[in-house]
Structure 1
Amino acid sequence: MTKVRLRWLPAVAVPAAIAAGALVGPFQASAAATLPIKTPEQLLAMVGANTVKSLSGKLEQTSELGLPQLPTTGPSSNTGVASALDLLTGPHTARVYLAGPTDARVQVMDQLAERDVVRHGTDVWLYSSKDNSATHETLPAAGTDGRTAPSTPELQTPDQLAQRMLAAIDPGTEVTVGQDTVVAGRSAYDLVLSPRSSDTLVGSVSIAVDSLTGLPLSVGVQARGQDKPAFRLAFTDLILQAPSADLFTFTPPPGANVTQRSLPQQGDRLPPGQPGTPGEQSGSAASQHTVSGTGWDTVIGLPAAAVPAGLTASPLLAQAARTVDGGRLLSTALVNVLLTNDGRIFAGSVPLELLQAAAAAR
């Protein structure tokens, strides 16, 4: 789970409200016993009041985004671009264990390999069995201003994904309640978010809300004009109790290539020009990006200087993209990404024409 994957997957896979890096499941929810009727406002309140912090469960993914299956071996197959595109093409399975805000473990089961992210307190381990490599990071301790240490760089859970989407609700979103359902053996309400705009690729977003706890159990995104969910994240097994404490300790296997890395502590000054330097954020992609449109029609633009080196020249990206007027287009059922001839990137859950218009206006 490279930094590139975690940074770029949301922009390629789903709208800004869904933000990335995520696991999406082919789980087909079954009919549930009739639940007491609740309004959209009541369901939103249930999700907001959810206090589940400890659990263990299994997540499954499939993505019907219209991307071609790309090779997982061979030249450039291990690049960040390949890793990101791999998450968008084909099924993926993971197990997740949570025990409060500082103990977490995610195991992503690849074909004949496994990747782990383990957090215990301020220690974070990232491990790949494919090449027997591990990275150990030390997170900044909580500051005296009441802020807590940053969250673990892990794959999204349905709860995290749902919270991002619900936080982005605006007058351009219609919120309704669908049919009751069952996810991972638990009865759930179906909270449906539908764009009012006709200029977005997204048809609707469905969030299964546990009827007892308010915990989001699944998130599905329907592309406009498609029958099957283009993007779905769901628990297939779930236990709402604290996992064994042993799961949150990690020792690299014999012979593992271990990299040690320390992150800056809160209050530390970074060298001038480095992303995150107080008062000097001109070097960060976040400070350079542009935004046009609103809500579901939002287009995010990045100047050429803010695009990671080698991204636009990736052979795998060239294989997935097609030539269009003004550049190359990476097209999915939910998001279009335009890579302009001068090296800029424009992305959004909108038709190509809106991306081209945003590029022409800059």
Structure 2
Amino acid sequence: MRSFSSKLAAIAPSATIEITDKARRLQASGVDVISLSIGEPDFPTPAHITAACIDALNRGETHYAPGKGIPSLLSAISEKIEAENGFSCTNDQVIVTCGAKDAIYEACEAVLNPGDEAVILDPSWVSYEPCIQIAGGTPVHHPLHKKTFQVEDSLLEKINNKTRMIIVNSPSNPSGSVLNRESLRLVSDICQDHDLVALSDEIYEKLVYGQIHFSLAMFPGMVDRTITINGFSKAYAMTGWRLGYAVAPKEILGYMNKVQQHTISHPTTFAMFGAVAALKGPQQCISEMRNEFERRREFVLNRLMDMGIGYAPAEGAFYAYLKVDGDDASIANRWLEEAHVAVTPGVAFNTPGWIRLSYAASMDTLAEAMNRIEKVV
């Protein structure tokens, strides 16, 4: 048989999913594994959101929908963007996708030509690089400041005539750091000076502790060159619903819509009515989950401090990014095999020497996990 896609052969599988699958295999064999390796809220989807989806099913909303999403959801998103994110948005600048990951993939396909370079700020989420590669682009990695995890002027060194896009993720997966106004202004200036497109992944925007989240598109001159990515998985505990969205300039959105028309057609129809309820309904569920995440964050960081383990600024999301002494992959494997705690090595995020630990678990689970890690450390 002839060989298959060389492009896909060169792309590594998702490290976070592989580690989670390994933990589940151990669990299935009877090992008591605590998995802190995946980014998923451990709360149920709020009842009013689920009820709206069920109502839609009962009404017969089970057929094809408009390709970019149902009108009521497009309106709810554009209203949310203007009210909360501080930049103008109309319905024809919005597309609803099968998760934020799908939106990122469509954006890369829409913007990048073969040979175009896209700059990724490290540490970086595992799927940015594959999305760029599948679209035919070339990923270029640039490290954030080692202690503050902010953008520095050295970013300019990675910009050349092949550069087409800069990817920004704040709050960050994996580090939990939040980019400040100065960092985002620097990205804004570089994009405008060199005619670049920015992809701003803001999926964790609702989970910020003691800091302020700024949208990149709110900076002067950026709304016409920024693709803002968001969704419902993290803020509303809707990971399995697979609903995300992008807000982008109309020309870029048109190309993204072409990708969508020829791949997924549109997100699941009845699920989108649940997303409308998420945005238009009571928002207390978000504050309740955020408060609980913050309580867990304080507990985990204090325990890590007691163990003498350093960590990145944990200002957002639900991750602690730990600085370890030695090979992070080996250490993560040792924690899994000896402590039966699954975490993700930093090499998966292009920062060897670090480990990502998710505190999206109950306090009892986190306490047991910290006790196990402490014994191994």
| TM-score, length-scaled by structure 2 | 0.29
Q: Which has the higher strand share?
A: 1
| TM-score, length-scaled by structure 1 | 0.29
